[in-house]
Structure formats: C-alpha cells, structure tokens
Amino acid sequence: MLFTSLIFLYLFLPITLLSFLFIKTRLRNPLLLIASLIFYAWGGVSFCLVLICSILINYLTGLLVGRSEDNSIRKFWFITGIILNVSGLLVFKYLNFFISNLNILSSVFHVIPIHLNPIFLPLGISFFTFKGICYLVTVKRKETQPQLNILNLGLYLGFFPVIIAGPIDRYKNFEPQFKPLNFNPELFASGVKRFAMGLGKKVIIATPIGYVADHIFWSPMALLNSPLAWLGAISYMLQIYYDFSGYTDMAIGLGRIFGFEFAENFNFPYTARSIRDFWRRWHITLSTWLRDYLFLPLAYSTSRKLKKEKYLGVRVDNLIYGIAIMVTFFICGFWHGSSWTFITWGMIYGALLLLERTRFGKKLDKGPAILAHAYTLFFVLIAWVIFRSYNLHDALTFIKAMFGMGVAKTEWMRFSGYIGREYIFAMLMAIVGCTHLFDMLLKKIKLWMNGNNFPSNLVFHAYHVLTLVFIILVMTYSTMAILGNTLQSFIYFRF
C-alpha cells in the first residue's frame, strides 16, 4: 500500500486516525500495531509472517540478552539474535544473487548449475532488520532495558509510516514514546503540514523529473548522446533526492499525526562540500547506524592496541581504519541491493572517503568553497549513474556517453522533446529546493510572526491560510495524478 494511493489517503489513513482518536488511550499503541500489520499485509500476507517472525526473534533474544548476568551467555544470545536477523536478509534479498554468481562460475568449471525458484523480497526487510539489530545492540550495551511488552517492540519494528523505507530510528530514542499517547493538536498540525510537503515533493517534483530520468535510462544505449546522458543523470540525481526525502517527510508527518517524533533523515545533502559532508547529510539514520554499529567497532576495536606498530611502512591503526571504511561502504552498497552496481557504488564512496583522509582532504577544506562543492556534486552524480544502471556495462556506457565517447549523434530535437513546461517547473523547484533559500525564507516569516505589530499579524494569518491552501492543492493534484495513473512507486521501496 503506497502513501500515494487512494486506498491509503482516503480509506486506510482516515479509518486509522478516527479509530486512534476515539479509542481509549491505553489501547492506542496496540491499535497502531494492528493497523501496521494490515498495512504491511496489503503487499502480501506471507510477507507479514516474515515481519512477525522478526518481532518474535528480537523480542525473545532481547529478553535473553537483557536478563543474563553472565557476560558469555549475554554474548551468545546477542550473536544468535544478530545471526537470525541477518539470515532472513541473506535468504530473501541475497540468495538469488549468490546463486546466480555461483552459476556463472559453474559454467566456467563445467559444473551443473544450481536451479532456484525466484525469491520475492519482502518490502522494507532491510529497514526492519537494521532496527532489530539496533534494538539488540542497545540492550547488549545496557543503554535500555529489554522490552517486556511485545506489542511495543512490534510497533518499533513495524510501525507503518517507517516500515518500508525508514527512517531507521534508534530504539533508545523511540522507547520513551511508548507511554500512553495523548492527542497533541500542535504536533498533529505539524504532522499534516509535513505530510503534505512530502507528498508535494513526490507528486510535483520527483514524478515529472523521474519520468524523464526513467525514459533516458531505459532507452537503448546505442541511441544515447552526451546532452541526453547529462539530462538523464541530473534528472535522476534530483529525482532520488526528492522521492526519498519526500517519503521521509511523509513518514515523519504521519508519525507526528499519531504522536511520535522520528529522526530527520536529510539535511540539504547537495549543499555538501565534501563526500564526508555529503554522508553527514544524506540518509542520516543509515549513515549514523553504519558508523556506530559497524565502522566504529571495526576501526577502533583493535587499532588502539596497535597504534605504534607498522606493517609495510603503514601504521596499523591507519590500515585498520582504511579497511573499516571500505568494509562499511561495501555493506552500505550491498544493503541497497543485490547487484554489483550497488557494491561498486558503495566502494566508490569508500575510496573517496579514504582520499579525503589524505592531504587532498585538507586542501579541499581550505580551498575555494565553489570548487569543493563542484567536486562533491560531480562524484555524487557519477555515483548515482552507477546506482541507477542495470549493470556495470550499462553504467560505463552511460558515463562514456556523458563525456562524448562512443555515442550516437546529438539530436537536439530529441533532447528538447523531454523539456516540457511541467519538467521545467519541477526542475526549477528542485534546484532551488536543494539550497537553503526556502528554509531561510520560512525562518524569516516565523520571525515576523513572533512580532506584535500589524504586519506581523498579517503575516501570521497569511502564513496559515497559505499553508491550508497548499495542503488542499497538493491533495487535489495528487488525487488527479493517482486517477490518471501518473504516479510512480517510491524508489527506496525496492531496498
């Protein structure tokens, strides 16, 4: 069930919200869990069983970890829980990938290939698996007590606004919100505005831009020329940002409507001046998860003990740090999908981060901001081409086309065919929205609203009237787009 479907907007959400408002306060969390299971089962009842198994596994292993006094027993149950979480991900998301690559080797060595029926990927399994691991790590580190109420843990893992594409909230931040939920009008109003903003990002910006990006990436490589390649790459770069950040806004908005606060996931990533800065701003909950639960344990578990030692002239702690970065971004790429394009995408970022730990990184920080910004956007753009491509061969062909190598003759009529009024409007909104301009304007309006004079009162009322008009227009336009079958599913649903 998509957030942008009529069933969700005009049936599931209103029924859930009305039930939430009129039911007893102590029953609101169980209600939201039931609604979340219905929401998830809409994509397949068998997928819902996978989610329920994940809830049971994490609940039981969390209790065993939290109640064990002996450290070795705690460690045993913790590792068992991690293995069970990762096993589900390996089977549903990566088994076909492993088998297909083994079959390539079997053809080389003339071994009988393995035949395996296609395994369908449960929506959001990457996200609720990482949240399950986060819960177990939190209990293992004694940052929180194990959750005794399985319904609360189920809500953390499977709450419908965030189950399919995040954000990946930390359990220790989510756990205090399990208290009986009281209706908060201000939080509700803030949630409605945030939901409408995300819906607008998806419908008004991401969809028309994505239409162009998809048609260019789907077109035969033999027909690709340099202008089209750049148009497709830039379009996809903006599409994936507005599509994913739009989903995040909608998820955060839905959380606020029901009284929950979720972590922010984006902070103007395309204003970054280095790859380090980009990953502090892009998919923040994933990058911080990888940092805290993978990179830091890998980088500092042994490097401190070996700080003064050297291997082949390189300090061992620096060597371990570099390996940790590459392993982390290998996992980051592989987490996004079972394809060599995703793995390559992750490894490129790992290599760039290692580069920025050298003198180059210091020069980048001290050099002109415009050059640092151009460098960052260039490599982010190239990485997105690899991320979007069907395979590495197509990715290389596309990148070569961007730089005029081995491509078709430029046909400006074909190029201009993609540049319609809707696309131009969406691109202008997208480019301006990547900057802090709208954010600064909004802060200025709020400063005016805090005053007591006549203009500030006028601004106050105008702001709220325009907000209401914006919500109505977005809902109306979205409904028309849905009825016209022009909306696409969210990009990150496939992960």
Which of 336, 393, 436, 461 is labelled catalytic?
336
| Length of the chain in terms of residues written | 495
CA angle 261, 437, 489 (to 5 degrees): 55
Q: Name the residue among 198, 213, 197, 279 with its Cα closest to residue 243.
A: 198
Cα separation of 167 and 131, whole Å?
10
Distances (CA, A) of 82 to 18, 89, 165: 38, 11, 21
Name, in order, each residue with C-beta under 8 angstroms of 176's C-beta and a sequence gap of 6 or more. none
Annotation marks residue 336 as catalytic: yes
Query: Residue 440 is inside which H or E element, if any?
Result: helix 437-449
Residue 3 is encoded by which pair of tokens? Answer: 């957030």
Q: Name the residue among 42, 118, 135 with its Cα closest to residue 84.
A: 135
| HSE (side-chain half, CA atoms, 13 Å) at 485 | 0
Cα separation of 170 and 134, whole Å?
7
Please name the residue that has the structure tokens 């029901």: 258
Query: Residue 128 is inside which H or E element, if any?
Result: helix 125-140
Whether the Cβ atoms of residue 140 and residue 78 lie closer than 8 Å to each other: yes
Residue 443 is encoded by which pair of tokens? Answer: 């802060």
Cα separation of 258 and 282, whole Å?
26
Distances (CA, A) of 113 to 14, 97, 120, 364: 51, 14, 21, 50
Whether the Cβ atoms of residue 491 and residue 239 lie closer than 8 Å to each other: yes
Q: What is the CA radius of gyration of the chain?
A: 24
Residues annotated as catalytic are 336
